[in-house]
């Protein structure tokens, strides 16, 4: 499989993830019933599976071992934090205030993951 094509696909799913997360965050903040619509409980998960699938496919095609690449380990750690904070923001957070804080923290982690992807540095911008 072509690496560049996989990366393009990966980046496309990254955009879809962000749009769907912002949409669900807005619906959470406004107590909208749309948050519980059937499609919105299915489509983000399907997209996230493709996001992760394309990441794994790139690792295989480029013969990259994430354990030997600190920036990839940072992305995996970031992804786990993003999933945890996202679940807190959209589902598990007991109060609205906690859910909003988790939402903002999740967006911060998301920005960090993108910065790591672009710079391939654990601390983007560090010398």
With CA atoms as reference, report the closest residue to 110 among 40, 37, 16: 16
Q: Does 103 bind ligand HEM (CB under 6 A)?
A: no
Among 11, 22, 46, 98, indicate the residue that binds ligand HEM (CB under 6 A). Answer: 11
Q: Does 55 bind ligand HEM (CB under 6 A)?
A: yes
CA distance from start to end of the chain: 34
Separation between Cα atoms, residue 52 and residue 54, nearest integer Å: 5
Among 9, 24, 75, 86, indicate the residue that binds ligand HEM (CB under 6 A). Answer: 75
CA–CA–CA angle 109, 110, 114 (5° rounding): 115
Q: Does 118 bind ligand HEM (CB under 6 A)?
A: yes
Residues that bind ligand HEM (CB under 6 A): 7, 10-11, 14, 52, 55, 58-59, 66, 72, 75-76, 79, 82, 110, 113-114, 117-118
């Amino acid at each position: 499989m072509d690496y560049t094509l996989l990366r393009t696909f990966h980046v496309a799913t990254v955009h879809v993830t962000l749009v769907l997360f912002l949409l669900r965050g807005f619906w959470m903040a406004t107590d909208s019933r749309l948050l519980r619509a059937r499609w919105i409980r299915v489509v983000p998960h399907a997209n996230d599976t493709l996001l992760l699938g394309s990441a794994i496919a790139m690792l295989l095609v480029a013969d990259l071992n994430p354990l030997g690449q600190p920036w990839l380990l940072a992305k995996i750690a970031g992804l786990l934090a993003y999933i945890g904070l996202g679940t807190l923001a959209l589902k598990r957070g007991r109060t609205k205030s906690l859910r909003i804080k988790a939402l903002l923290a999740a967006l911060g982690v998301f920005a960090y993951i993108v910065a790591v992807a672009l710079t391939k540095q654990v601390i983007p911008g560090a010398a």
